[in-house]
Amino acid sequence: METRILGRTGASVGVVGFGAWQIGADWSAVSEDDATAALEAAAAAGVTFYDTADVYGDGRSERFVGAFRKAHPGVFVATKMGRRAEQVHGNYSEANFLAWNDDSRERLGMATLDLVQLHCPPTSVYGDDAVFGVLDAMVAEGRIGHYGVSVETCEEALAAIARPGVATVQIILNPFRQKPLKRVLPAAADAGVGIIARVPLASGLLSGRYTAGTEFAADDHRNYNRRGDAFDVGETFAGVDYATGLEAVERLRPLVPEGMTMAQFALRWILDQPGVTVVIPGARNAEQAAANAAAAAFAPLDPDLHAAVRAVYDDLVRPQVHHRW
């Protein structure tokens, strides 16, 4: 698999990673056997970057990734912290950081975590020198190797990129969320900050497998968070109205080259964007993990296809999402 340098970490990682939210919670039930099989299939396909968070299943995802890492000690593990408390600025404190970090290190079985990301913190946190001073101290103490920020908006991404200690920025990027292309990706490239592209398949919409009649389980965020009742609505279907998303998918479907799935097409579109380091699709099973990794083997898409994807975005999706994030 092609590798790229993960920003200021200096680490070389495969361009398709593994997003471990699905094996934690909020995507209907995923068994331990299926979670383990998905992780192993990703490794067999050359995936070296694994992204998790302390709140995915209340530590369930971190425990799975930690057990997997024992058998694959060379992989790069990124986790997140910050969502275990009410989302107010004051909870982004040294005491909380140290406690959350201790818990993650225990679950992952790592004395020094490769990368810890603030998990979509309140916007005011980005301007707080003391918060980033604590993160710098945690690096100096050997608790974490590097730190980054997972963001909701482009303005938050730009604020994070301007911080000299921020190694990576994780942001939603897919054919339905194209705003980061204009300013965020160029700024990250200029600063040497890695870009981790999350929600790459718009919560599965861009797999092309869903219809108006598709039903999601009660414990699936694609059911309970469609209006942002639990967390930022942009994390569910990339913030696109479900019916509009289905219409856009049908416009994209004829563009998919022969031999590619629609999901692979969407992942390849992301990998083609200058400044992207790694994309982190989730997987519920081994088959999905292997298919996601295979997207890295395809050649870059033709410029005409990129123009056609942009046209679908401009016509259907831009009015709903571009001004929001």
By C-alpha distance, which of 318, 289, 303 is closest to 17?
Answer: 289
Instruction: Tell me if 194 sits within 8 A of 7, measured CB to CB.
Output: yes
Euclidean distance between CA atoms 5 and 41, whole angstroms: 23
Q: What's the pLDDT score for residue 28?
A: 85
Query: Residue 89 pLDDT > 90, yes or no?
Result: yes
Q: What's the pLDDT score for residue 203?
A: 97
Structure tokens at 319: 């009015």
Q: Which residues pair with 196 in a beta bridge?
A: 170, 278
Euclidean distance between CA atoms 317 and 325, whole angstroms: 13
Q: What's the pLDDT score for residue 2?
A: 98
Q: What's the pLDDT score for residue 306?
A: 98
Instruction: Give the C-alpha distances (Å, rounded to integers) separating 273 from 87, 167, 185, 267.
Output: 32, 19, 8, 10
Euclidean distance between CA atoms 269 and 312, whole angstroms: 14
Query: Residue 324 pLDDT > 90, yes or no?
Result: yes
**51 Cβ partners below 8 Å, 6+ apart?**
17, 18, 19, 20, 78, 79, 170, 196, 198, 280
Euclidean distance between CA atoms 174 and 235, whole angstroms: 12
Query: Residue 194 pLDDT > 90, yes or no?
Result: yes
Euclidean distance between CA atoms 66 and 274, whole angstroms: 32
Q: Sorting pLDDT into bands at 50, 70 and 90, what band is 29? A: confident
Euclidean distance between CA atoms 163 and 166, whole angstroms: 6
Q: What's the pLDDT score for residue 202?
A: 98
Q: What's the pLDDT score for residue 192?
A: 98
**36 Cβ partners below 8 Å, 6+ apart?**
64, 67, 68
Structure tokens at 171: 């942001």
Query: Residue 126 pLDDT > 90, yes or no?
Result: yes
Measured from the Cβ of residue 85, the count of other Cβ atoms closer than 10 Å reads 14
Instruction: Tell me if 45 sits within 8 A of 293, measured CB to CB.
Output: yes
